[in-house]
């Protein structure tokens, strides 16, 4: 696993811990960073890359938190990336 992929996985773990502690804004930021890294990696590769279940969790958790904040359009955009 390359460094950006490792960083994305770490950000998912951090986001999940933040979400579990009720730190919604911090969790959104962590999940968003993980999604951004994942999308950068996917764009750098010549073919479509399947998301690992762990990274996909960042997309789904981010969408869930955005929906809880009534940010439904943003949540849908994230889900469309999966």
Q: Which pLDDT score is estimated for 56? A: 94
CATH number, domain of 46, equals 1.25.40.10
Q: What is the mean pLDDT of residues 14-35?
A: 98
Cα separation, 43 vs 18, in Å, equals 28
Q: Which pLDDT score is estimated for 46? A: 62
Residue range of the domain that includes 71: 3-80
Band of the pLDDT at 57, cuts 50, 70, 90? very high
Q: How many domains does the chain have?
A: 1
Contact in structure between 54 and 12 (CB atoms under 8 Å):
yes
């Amino acid at each position: 696993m390359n460094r950006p992929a490792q960083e994305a996985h770490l950000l998912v773990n951090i986001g999940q811990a933040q979400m579990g502690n009720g730190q919604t804004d911090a969790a959104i930021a962590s999940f968003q960073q993980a999604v951004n890294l994942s999308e950068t990696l996917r764009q750098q590769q010549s073919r479509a890359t399947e998301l690992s279940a762990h990274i996909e969790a960042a997309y789904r958790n981010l969408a869930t938190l955005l929906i809880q904040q009534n940010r439904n359009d943003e949540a849908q955009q994230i889900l469309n990336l999966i």
